[in-house]
Amino acid sequence: MVTKSLAPDEALKRYAQLLERAAGLEKRDKAKANFLDFVKLMWPAFIAGRHHRIVAEKLERVARGELKRLIINMPPRHTKSEFASYLFPAWMIGRRPDLKIMQATHTADLSVRFGRKVKNLMETKDYQGIFDVKLRSDSKAGLSVGDRQWW
């Protein structure tokens, strides 16, 4: 049996591709398991502060079922809505597509905007690279995972 060996440049290029793929898979696995890692992948310009780490830890406790009630009180523009009403629902649906999430806000318009924002995020290539969850094409809010569908 004769095997063809790669030229040194080709071997290095292939090795670099494999390393890049492994790093991407590691980032994906971290984003599935850790909310803040998910946030950083979906929002590359995000810079985590101490309060972000605290809120992320509490939201992860909610995700694990350890915390049944959570109230987040922070001044405006400190990412509470981005975390709790946008990124966290998208992360949770990715992890548990059968989960039913209801958003309540002080106006119906705001709730619809957050729902649309979550939907738009879930349709991105970056999100699809982490979670195998697709929205139903015939529904505004329906989900499809494999042959299972929800709305």
- Which helix (DSSP H) or strand (DSSP E) does residue 148 occupy? strand 148-150
Kindly state the percentage of the chain with pLDDT values over 70.
85
The pLDDT, as a whole number, for residue 64 is 95
Q: Which amino acid is at 27?
A: K
55 and 83 Cβ atoms separated by less than 8 Å: yes
Q: Are 150 and 97 in contact (CB under 8 A)?
A: yes
Provide the pLDDT confidence category of residue 14 given band limits of 50, 70 and 90: confident
Give Cβ neighbours of residue 112 (< 8 Å, ≥ 6 apart): none
Could you tell me the residue ranges of all domains in the chain?
10-150
Q: For the whole model, what pTM was predicted?
A: 0.78
Triad 44, 47, 50: Cα angle to 5°: 145
Look at the block and give the residue holding tokens 């492994």. Answer: 22
- Cα→Cα distances 95→22, 47, 127, Å: 21, 24, 12
pLDDT in tens, 53-65: 999 999 999 999 9
CB 95 within 8 A of CB 32: yes
From the DSSP assignment, how many helices (H) and strands (E) are in the chain?
Answer: 7, 3
